[in-house]
Amino acid sequence: MGHYLFKRLLLLPLTLCIILLLNFAILNLAPGEPTTQMDLSATGEAVGTQKSSSTNDPYILFRQHYGLHLPIFINRWPLIKKSKLLQALSQLHTQKKDSSELNYSHYQNLKRGWRDRGKYIPKLLFEVLEGDLDLPLKIEALNLLVNSGIRCGYQSSFLTNKQKLENQKISKNNLFLSTQSLLKTADQNAFETNLHALKQWAEANQLLEPYSFSQKIHILFTETRFFCYFSKVLRLDFGTLRNDSNKKVTHEVFKRMKYSIVLCAFPLLISFVLCQFFGILMAYFSNRWIDHGLSIFFLVLYALPIFVVCPFLIEKIALHHHFFFSKIPIPLSGFHSSDEIYHSLLSYQRLKDISLHILLPLLASLYHCLAVQSRISKTAFLEALSQDYIKTAKAKGLKTSYILYNYVGRNAGITIITSLTTSIGVLLSGSLIIETLFGIDGFGKFFYSGVLNRDYHVILFSTLLGSFFSVTGYLLGDICYASLDPRVRFT
C-alpha cells in the first residue's frame, strides 16, 4: 500500500502542473481583449466596460506586468526576416491587408504586435531605414523603432539603488526617443536628421551588435510569457492583484479561505453524521412508509437547484422574521455583524454572533450534500443488510443493535466515506453562489470577481487551489478505501 501511496503522491504535483498549464493555455489563447474589465454589480451580475487601448502609460504597464508584450511559448522574434518586416510596414501604412480594409481593432493589434517585436530587431530596422524604400514606409519604420524603444521603468514603493539607476537611464532614453518620432507627412530632411540622431543613440547604447548564438537560445526560451509565469510559480510567487499591486494573490485568497472552509467543512461533517442515521432508517425499514417518504423527500432536495433555495431562504424565512422563541431578528447577510460590533464582543458572544449569521448559509450548502449522501448510504446499508452473514448472526441470536454496529456499519462505511471525500471539490465550487447571495466575502466570490475582471493571476491560482482540493479529496478517498477494506489490494 505504501508503494501505491507513494506513486499517487508523486502524481499529485504532476496533475496540478498539467492543470495549471491547461488553464494558462486557455487564458492566453482565448480571444478577447485582456483590458476588458467587467464589474460585479451588487446583485452579482456581470456588467462590462472596455478600457481604451492606447499608448498611455497604465496600459503599457499593465501589459508589461502580465508579460503580454512577449510571445506565449517560444520567442523567435530575433530571427524575423526582412521580407516579413517590409510586408508589415506596408500593411501598417496603408491599413489594408491583401487589399481588404483592416478594421480598427485588428489595426491596433498589428501595431501593438510589431511594437513588441521591434525591440529584438534594431539592426534589421536600421538596414531597412538606410535601404531603398519609399519615404512613407521609411517614416513608418522610424516610428516603429522609436516606439519600440520606449520602456516602462520599475514602479514600486521600495526601489533598490540599482533599480533607481535603471529608471534614470530609461527615462533619459524615453525623453530622447519621444522627440524623435515623425509625423506621416514629414519630409526627407526631417527624416535624415532624425535618422542620424537615432543612429548615434543606437551606437552609444550598443544596440547594433548582432545576437550571439547563446543569446538567441536564451531569448528563445526565457523571454516568453510561459517562462515568466512558471519561473515565478516555481518560487511560489503567484503574483499580485490586477487593480492593486501591493496585495499578493496568495495572501488575499488565504484571508478569505477561512469563510469558505467553514461553509464547506461543517456541512460535510454534519451530513456525514446525519446521513448514516437516515441511511440506516431507510434501509432497515425498506419498502415501508418511512422509506418511501424519506426517499421522496431526499429526491426533491436533490433536485432543488441552489439558486432557488438561497433566495427562498432569504426572502421567505429571513426577511422580517425572527428566530424561534426569541426576539432576535434573523441576519440577512455577512459572516458576522459589522466590524465595530464584532470587535466589541467577548469570544463566546462572537461565537453566538457567527453561528446566528451562518445558520442560513449552512442550511443552503448542507441540503444537497445531505440528500446525495443519504441516498448513497441507503444503498450501501441495503447491500450490507442483504448479505448472508447477517442472517446467520440473527439466527445465532445476536442483538440487532450489535449486528448493526459491528457487521453492517463497518462494511457499509467504506462506500460512504469514499463518496464523502470525493465531494469536497464539488462543495467548494457550490459555495460561490451562496457567498454571492448571502454577501459573505469568501473564496468563491473572490474568484468570480477575478474571472469577470480578467485578473489572470487570481484565476490561475484559484483554479489551482480548487483542483488541489479535488485531487486531495480523491486521494483521501482512495486511502480510506484501501485502509478500511482489508480485501482491497493495489497492485
The residue ranges that bind other proteins (CB under 8 A) are 11, 15, 18-19, 22-23, 26-27, 30-32, 38, 43-46, 287, 292, 295-296, 299-300, 302-308, 311-312, 315, 319, 386, 425, 428-429, 432-433, 447-448, 451-452, 454, 459, 462-463, 466-467, 470-471, 474
Min dist CB 248 to other proteins, Å, is 20
Q: Which is nearer to other proteins, 46 or 328 (CB)?
A: 46
Closest separation in Å from C-beta 320 to other proteins: 10
Quote the least distance from Cβ 382 to other proteins, whole Å. Answer: 9
Compute the distance between CA of residue 456 and CA of residue 140 in angstroms, rounded to an integer. Answer: 34
User: Based on CB atoms, which residue is closest to other proteins, 129 or 458?
Assistant: 458
Q: Which is nearer to other proteins, 126 or 446 (CB)?
A: 446
Provide the minimum distance between the beta carbon of 111 and other proteins in the complex, in angstroms, as a whole number.
Answer: 22
Amino acid occupying residue 82: K
Query: Which CB atom, from 195 or from 452, has the smaller least distance to other proteins?
Result: 452
For the CB of residue 241, give the shortest distance to other proteins in the complex, in Å.
17
Q: How far is the CB of 466 from other proteins (least distance, A)?
A: 4
Residue 278 near residue 382 (C-beta atoms within 8 A) = no
* Smallest separation (angstroms) from other proteins to the CB of 483: 20
Spatial CA neighbour of 332 closest among 445, 432, 435, 438? 438
Query: Which of 215, 224, 223 lies closest to 123, judged by CA?
Result: 215
Closer to other proteins by CB, 47 or 74: give it: 47
Distance CA 364, CA 278 (A): 19
The residue count of the chain comes to 491
For residue 454 the three cell numbers come to 480578467
225, 63 Cβ separation under 8 angstroms = no
Minimal distance in Å, beta carbon 459 to other proteins?
Answer: 6
- Judged by beta carbon, residue 70 or residue 464, the one nearer other proteins is 464
Question: In the bound complex, what is the minimum distance in angstroms from residue 260's beta carbon to other proteins?
Answer: 13
Contact 154, 163 (CB under 8 A): yes
Of 194 and 467, CB closest to other proteins: 467
Which of 76, 96, 99 lies closest to 88, judged by CA?
96
**Cα angle, residue 316 at apex, residues 310 and 317 outer, rounded to 5°:** 85
User: Which residue number, 11 or 135, has a Cβ lying nearer to other proteins?
Assistant: 11
Please, are residues 431 and 442 in contact by the beta-carbon 8 Å criterion? yes
Contact 477, 423 (CB under 8 A): no
Return d(Cα 301, Cα 275) in angstroms, integer: 13
Strands 36-40 and 46-50: antiparallel
Cα 457 to its chain centre, rounded Å, is 7
Classify residue 275 by burial, with Cβ atoms within 10 Å: 0-12, 13-18, 19+: buried
What distance in Å separates the CA atoms of residue 364 and residue 373, rounded to the nearest whole number? 15
Rounded Cα distance between 299 and 291, Å, is 12
Compare residues 46 and 351 and give the one whose CB is closer to other proteins: 46
Helix, strand, or coil here: 268?
Answer: helix
